[in-house]
Amino acid sequence: MPHTRIQEQISLETCLKKIDHQGYKRYRELQGIYRFSGFILAVDHVQGDPFAAPSRICATIPFGDKIPPDFMNTSAGKTAVEDFLGRRFRHFKTLIAKGSSGMGKSGLIDIDSGGQTILKRNAVVIKNGTAEFRFVVGLPAAGRTILGKEAAAIFMEEIPEILSRTMDIPLKDLRLFVNTLADQETLRASLKAKGLVAFIVDHAILPRKSGIDDRPLEKDAVPFVSPESLRVHIQTPNSGEITGMGIPKGVTLIVGGGFHGKSTLLNALQSGIYNHIPGDGRERVVSLPDALKIRAADGRFVEKVNISPFISNLPFKRDTECFSTDNASGSTSQAAGIMEALEAGTKVLLMDEDTSASNFMIRDERMQSLVPKEKEPITPFVDKIRQLYKEHGISSILVMGGSGDYFEVADTVIMMDAYHPKDVSQKAREIVRLFPSHRAREGGESFGIFRHRIPLKSSFNPSRGKRDVKIDAKGLKTLLFGRTLIDLSDMEQLADLSQTRSIGYIIHYVAKHTLNTTTSLTEAINQAFDDLSKNGLDVLLPFRVGNLALPRPLEVIQAINRMRTLKIAQADWR
């Protein structure tokens, strides 16, 4: 920050009186640091006009004994406390802030706080016995004329009251928040030792209010209850022993009739990579942290990916060991997505037949008879799924309602019946015995190989016009990186707009700091995340912001793979 001298609160009041009814740009005179009763307030950046992005403000408050030290003795505990405080600030600003007091964003007070997931953010940062609240304020104006009295009310009345009430912390609620997150971390950490890839606690509420509302369904929601054969017991630090359904490693099918809860269960599993707030209904539903949802994505960009385990012998002798396209089909995009996921290090694939390419998933006996293998470039996933597990330890969880051929390759089959799960694995094996499939296996002797690719630094140019760096999230599933719009619409596990924004800055950081001519994409990303783990999200920008949330390395790699400027140095493959 350019301003380091701390002024008294009265200086801010005096300045607001002086610039009242002046031109809007004089608001820049506010930039600085001010001492209030009980906190320090910094005006880090002043917006250029009432319609521009609101001004960035930071308030630093010593919390003394208001937060027990043992709540923050782990990284997860510290994240829980920061998230809790951000939500309290949002709650009280809604109650206290008067809102619109002029043109554009005048009167706005806002903070970047979460929905149903608990993410590592930089909206509230705890350090050195203080809580640092980073929020934005829309400085009031009539046209382009400063409304000094309205601005004074925001700074002298609204913000102090919001902060005071935020820091009046109900320890019972905070303890519940911290303990709930700690239990989820324990459950997730227990999966591997128990040979599981996911766990769904008994009595979880999996259905959501709607496709655009991630809150739990309140009316007519059926609590989840594990079938006895799949029930496992896990000890947690705060809730004691809990029970629920464990999904073992290997190949798992989720089957059942339409509208009986198959996709609802898979959606809960793909969200199980995150921790959830108390009352979400999924706060003890966990998956391995590298579980990745794959779907077909017609039209996506692919750059030099080896898709030959699934697709070979294309017409016109197109190379599938180094496959590139600006307009992938459903099958080639899904094949590329899987191979990119293996390169990135995932150990669990999640797929739903409703969002998959049908010719990629299965080729039945009749189609095999009509179109011989030598005329069909696609090797269906059903013939590769067991090789993936046996040779590479990659588990798969599939929602499958239309093809019983997958029964032959499944270890576990779960049937959803009116949202009640049933273990029908033995019955599926009996069906295979009674009604054997006569389709030919087309997967060959082994799965095949995947390669680590090395991107060229020239792929990542964040400049736009006169700006050296222009990075912004244009919604949850669209990222602007320089002049390039990156379509993230098939990345279903993104949970928050602030993650999308962070992905852009992480890509820029990787290009500047961790990528070189011998570093693979995965190595460069993992090195960047090591830096983030040590130094926090603030390492991504040269100035203080509060609107970043941590994605997974997997999502950053997925985004890079969708950049139409991406160029891979093929000669350096290993």
Domain residue ranges of the chain, discontinuous segments joined by +: 6-169, 457-572
Q: What is the pLDDT of residue 3?
A: 52
Taking residue 368's Cβ as centre, other Cβ atoms within 10 Å add up to: 16
87-110 average pLDDT score: 93
Cα separation, 108 vs 93, whole angstroms = 9
The alpha carbon dihedral of 39, 44, 50, 54 has a sign of negative
What are the tens digits of pLDDT across the range 402-459?
Answer: 889 999 999 999 999 999 999 999 999 999 999 999 999 999 999 998 889 999 999 9
Determine the pLDDT at residue 367. Answer: 93
Q: Which residue has the higher pLDDT, 186 or 570?
A: 186
The 3-state DSSP class for residue 164 equals helix
Structure tokens at 353: 């037949």
Better-scored residue on pLDDT, 340 or 101: 340
Among the listed ranges 54-63, 97-106, 237-246, 273-282, which one has the minimum average pLDDT value?
Answer: 97-106
Closest CA relative to residue 225, chosen from 196, 197, 195, 205: 205
State both tokens at 356: 């998959």
Q: How far, in Å, CA of 144 to CA of 140, rounded? A: 9
CA 1 to CA 5: how far, in whole Å? Answer: 11
Supply the mean pLDDT for the chain.
95
User: What region, left, alpha or beta, does residue 240 occupy, with left being phi > 0 and alpha being psi -120 to 50 degrees?
Assistant: left
pTM score of the predicted model? 0.95
**pLDDT-based confidence at 103, cuts 50/70/90?**
confident
Give residue 316's pLDDT band: very low, low, confident or very high (50, 70, 90): confident
Query: Which of 535, 539, 515 shows the shortest CA–CA distance to 527?
Result: 515
Among 478, 495, 479, residue whose Cα is nearest residue 119: 495
- Per-residue CA distances from 310 to 135, 339, 395, 418, 526 (Å): 48, 9, 17, 35, 27
Looking at residue 318, its pLDDT comes to 83
pLDDT at 315: 79
DSSP 9-77: HHHHHHHHHHHTTSBGGGGGGG-EEEEETTEEEEEEE--SSTTSSPEEEEEEEE-TTSS-GGGGSSHHH
- pLDDT of 574 over the 90 cut: no
Q: What is the distance between the alpha carbons of residues 335 and 312, in angstroms, rounded to a whole number?
A: 11
pLDDT band at residue 314 using 50, 70 and 90 as cut-offs: confident
pLDDT at 25 > cutoff 70: yes
What angle (nearest 5°) sits at the alpha carbon of residue 54, between those of residues 52 and 58? 155
- % of the chain residues with pLDDT over 90: 93
Residues facing 479 on adjacent strands: 473, 486
78: which 2 tokens?
């510290």
- Which candidate, 232, 207, 226, 227, places its Cα nearest to that of 217? 207
DSSP 171: H
Residue pLDDT, tens place only, 105-154 = 999 999 999 999 999 999 999 999 999 999 999 999 999 999 999 999 99
**Cα-Cα-Cα-Cα dihedral of 165, 170, 171, 176, to 10°?**
-120
Alpha-carbon dihedral sign for residues 115, 117, 120, 125: positive
Rounded to 5 degrees, what angle do the CA atoms 34, 4, 139 make?
45
Decide if pLDDT at 183 tops 80.
Answer: yes
Asked whether residue 309 carries a pLDDT value surpassing 90, the answer given is: yes
Integer Cα distance of 426 and 396 in angstroms: 19
Strands (E), 46-195: 55-62, 109-111, 117-118, 124-127, 130-137, 141-142, 145-146
| Tokens read off for 233 | 């017991």
* Mean pLDDT calculated for residue range 372-390: 95
